[in-house]
Amino acid sequence: MHFVDITKPENPEPTEGFERLLAALPANANDFAGSEYPQPAALAYFGEPLNVERLRRKAESIRLNGAAALCETAMAMAEAIESVAPDRERYFITDAKARQHVFTGSKWRAGWACLIGSADHAPAAAAFKERDFLVFAQRSAGQPDPGPREPAREYSFRGGEPGVVDLGPRETAAVYFFQLMVRYAMIWGMIPPGDAHEMGHFLENDLPGVVVADGPLTPVEELLLLALMKMGAPAVVPKDYPFDYGRFVRAEGTEAIVEAAAKFPNLRIKDVDGAVVSLPAYCNPANAGEKFEPARRVGGGDSFFVLRPAEAQEGVDLPPQDDLSRAGALAILVDVGDPRLDIAASDFLEKRALSMIGMIAGQRARQSSAGEFFVEAAADAPILASRLAGAIAAGLRFNFPFLERIHVRVVASADEAARLRPRIDAFRKQRRAALAAESDETAREFFYCIECQPFSHAHACIVTPDRWPMCGRDRQQVIANALFGAGINYHPWKRRDIQDVDLRAGIPAGTALDPLRGEYDSVNQAASRVTGRKIERVFLHSVRDYPHSNCGCFHFLAFWMEERQGIGVMERNYKRSAPGGRTWDQLANAAGGKQCPGLAGASPAYLRSPKFLQGDGGHAAIRWLSPKAFKIIQDLLPAPSRVEMGEE
């Protein structure tokens, strides 16, 4: 891998690509719609929108400088050129789409791979996708237009893999990836517009992406690739790439290119808790949710499915007859002998264990709120006790590799099920009471989750009985993953500098420093440790001063409205604005990946929490709600007449 100082002596010759950009520079530049940053490249470099005449004069004054000195002006000219293209909305990545690419591309993928050049990118795109990259690509001259579509939508290459973001066919297409890069720095890295130097340092270390020169480059493409590298993007370039600046490796051929790209240290890595567990041959997670016409059903009556903490050893207990087609009843008891499992957490594990039956082709399990349980099967799918027990035991271990001593008992006798049912009903009643009694005051332990730190550096999600994760995930899922690990199918990618930090772990609850606003010394210490001291204090139940930090996958954003001395709540991707003119893009960009006084993410569950922002007055202090938020909590509003609802 070749790392070269970008500040080394420059080639004194002018570049053909720069002259071509200057010749194509329009008289004026347009804004790109759908972004708080309507000209992202210009704002990143200069801190203000483009003044094309000033840009032209600057370009003419530096045209004889070396290539590295031309990068900023070249990329700004490329943005101006693209801004007047009649189809720019097809390729511009809006803020909403950018947030999606950040979330998907850095948490659930190894990173972004941007392919530029005139090759047919289908082979490289397929290879990068196989390595879990989100692929962006300039469409080469030989690649047909995929036709009308939503702006910056993913599309399929001819004969290649679907899911590639189309950057368009022009030699200035790389500017759209550059715009995504610098917004990542401004939003998630908190780099102010205009500080290109600091932005470059941040992106060099943390950009979840790599640029690949896949095929011959025009002089314009060569120069824009250099601008991408100067702003911090590592690159894989061909052997004849003319510039010797930036961080790059020379490689040719699909296999060599992908292998070289995957080694850059800014890309994400994936760890898996414990050994990878194999599922039985008859189990496949892809079967979950399959549609089929049920030909038979087993269960009903006194049948039940339950998972509970118990004195248990690993194993299964099966009825004499494996085929359950003629069983008088069906009861499945999953006893877990892991001492870390409490009665409340067993509720979530029970739901997950029940879903494991759906991994068997042609089968699904259902359990009503009243506890009635049955298994349905397609005509060609026999219901076998051994397979039900095997799917449950292996599925639990596959998803929670550290869960200890799982014992599955299958009962096919109506008499035995009826004998056991009162005991199970009593356990369920006890569990409902335990869940209802949980609160921040009664909890011995809170939990943190930093799964979103691949893109949210200054964020740690603190999960308590009264504050559920803002992403909408079940609180018990965070607890289960923290205690029992997360299997390979639910394990995000990580930034390399936090690979030795647990993604989820418990925090002793302790005594609150401020019970009303929800400040705990133990939470402050944990947040400071797992964010590298980016966060020192956290108010769990106040949006002001030191509110809970934010990821990027929040369902709602709560914000303080100074002019109304109260709280506003806006739903994700709300199309209108709050009083005062604040839009979802503005709020989400301000919140993303950081602690932002006056602004905090929330889930539907937290909106209904009895401690919802109680430090600011709680539900009584709400002054404005977007429509979805209003529907969720309208019954909790003590004075609905004081609350304004946003337009649909």
In three-state secondary structure terms, 115 is strand
* Domain membership flag for residue 276: no
pLDDT surpassing 50 at residue 627: yes
Higher pLDDT, 301 or 3: 301
Point out which residues pair with 116 in neighbouring strands.
Answer: 213
Q: What angle do CA 58, 60, 65 make, to 5 degrees?
A: 90
pLDDT surpassing 80 at residue 192: yes
Residue with structure tokens 């990836």? 177
Average pLDDT over residues 97-102: 93
CATH number at residue 412: 3.30.1650.10
pLDDT band at 535 (very low <50, low <70, confident <90, very high): very high
Query: Is there a contact between 523 and 568 (Cβ–Cβ < 8 Å)?
Result: no
pLDDT surpassing 90 at residue 155: no
Q: What is the pLDDT of residues 491-533, one digit of tens each?
A: 788 888 776 788 899 999 999 999 999 999 999 999 999 999 9
pLDDT band at 202 (very low <50, low <70, confident <90, very high): very high
CB atoms within 10 A of CB 162: 11
pLDDT at 289: 82
* Domain membership flag for residue 272: no
* Domain membership flag for residue 280: no
pLDDT at 243: 83
Q: What is the pLDDT of residues 439-449, one digit of tens each?
A: 999 999 999 99
pLDDT at 146: 53
pLDDT band at 457 (very low <50, low <70, confident <90, very high): confident
Out of 412, 437, 462, a domain closes at: 437
pLDDT band at 65 (very low <50, low <70, confident <90, very high): confident
Instruction: Give the residue from 356, 279, 365 showing the smallest Cα distance to 324.
Output: 365
Strands 599-602 and 209-213: unpaired
Strands 556-561 and 599-602: antiparallel
Average pLDDT over residues 119-135: 91
> Do 498 and 395 share a structural domain?
no
Phi and psi at residue 363, to the nearest 5°: -140, 150
pLDDT at 596: 96
Query: Is there a contact between 568 and 553 (Cβ–Cβ < 8 Å)?
Result: no
pLDDT at 152: 43
pLDDT at 141: 52
**Cα 103 to chain center, whole Å?**
4
pLDDT band at 139 (very low <50, low <70, confident <90, very high): confident
**Could you tell me the CA-to-CA distances from 555 to 426, 486, 629 in Å, in that order?**
36, 23, 10
Q: What is the pLDDT of residues 5-16, one digit of tens each?
A: 333 334 435 589
pLDDT surpassing 70 at residue 161: no
Out of 261, 295, 316, a domain closes at: 261
pLDDT at 269: 85
Query: Is there a contact between 528 and 572 (Cβ–Cβ < 8 Å)?
Result: no
Out of 379, 403, 437, a domain closes at: 437
Instruction: Give the residue from 108, 91, 216, 212 showing the smallest Cα distance to 155.
Output: 91
> Do 140 and 96 share a structural domain?
yes
pLDDT band at 138 (very low <50, low <70, confident <90, very high): very high
* Domain membership flag for residue 269: no
pLDDT band at 244 (very low <50, low <70, confident <90, very high): confident
Q: What is the pLDDT of residues 405-415, one digit of tens each?
A: 999 999 999 99
Percent with pLDDT over 70 in the chain: 93
Contacts 24+ apart (CB under 8 A), 191-197: 192/47, 193/37, 193/43, 193/44, 193/47, 193/48, 194/43, 194/44, 194/45, 194/46, 194/47, 194/48, 195/47, 196/44, 196/45, 196/72, 196/231
> Do 513 and 612 share a structural domain?
yes
pLDDT surpassing 50 at residue 426: yes
Average pLDDT over residues 612-618: 98
**Which structural domain range is residue 372 located in?**
285-437
Residue with structure tokens 């347009």? 30
pLDDT surpassing 50 at residue 4: no
CATH number at residue 519: 3.40.1470.10
**Could you tell me the CA-to-CA distances from 33 to 36, 176, 327 in Å, in that order?**
9, 13, 63
pLDDT at 158: 33
Contact partners, residue 436, CB within 8 Å, separation at least 6: none
The domain tally of the chain equals 3
> Do 306 and 236 share a structural domain?
no
Q: What is the pTM of this model?
A: 0.87
| The pair of three-digit structure tokens given for residue 77, joined into one six-digit string | 């000219």
> Do 214 and 103 share a structural domain?
yes
Burial class (CB in 10 A: 0-12, 13-18, 19+), 103: buried
pLDDT at 499: 66
> Do 305 and 226 share a structural domain?
no
Alpha helices in 325-364 (DSSP H): 345-355
Q: 3-state SS string over 574-602?
A: CCCECCCCCEHHHHHHHHCCCCECCEEEE
- DSSP class of residue 549 equals P
Average pLDDT over residues 47-54: 95
- C-alpha R_g of the chain: 28
* Domain membership flag for residue 518: yes
> Do 457 and 433 share a structural domain?
no
Q: What angle do CA 120, 121, 122 make, to 5 degrees?
A: 95
- DSSP class of residue 276 equals P
pLDDT at 14: 54
pLDDT band at 21 (very low <50, low <70, confident <90, very high): very high
> Do 243 and 341 share a structural domain?
no
Strands ordered across the beta sheet of 315-317? 304-309, 331-336, 406-411, 315-317
Higher pLDDT, 249 or 14: 249
pLDDT at 518: 98
> Do 626 and 580 share a structural domain?
yes
Average pLDDT over residues 42-65: 94
pLDDT at 159: 34
* Domain membership flag for residue 268: no
pLDDT surpassing 90 at residue 586: yes
pLDDT at 648: 87
pLDDT band at 17 (very low <50, low <70, confident <90, very high): very high
Name the residue type at position 603. S
* Domain membership flag for residue 267: no
> Do 589 and 501 share a structural domain?
yes
* Domain membership flag for residue 3: no
Query: Is there a contact between 334 and 357 (Cβ–Cβ < 8 Å)?
Result: no
| The pair of three-digit structure tokens given for residue 267, joined into one six-digit string | 């890309």
CATH number at residue 74: 3.40.50.2030
pLDDT at 275: 67
Average pLDDT over residues 546-563: 96
> Do 297 and 220 share a structural domain?
no
C-alpha torsion angle, residues 469, 474, 479, 483 (rounded to 10): -130
C-alpha torsion angle, residues 150, 151, 153, 156 (rounded to 10): 80
> Do 299 and 256 share a structural domain?
no
pLDDT band at 162 (very low <50, low <70, confident <90, very high): low
pLDDT at 154: 46
pLDDT surpassing 90 at residue 634: yes
Name the residue type at position 39. Q
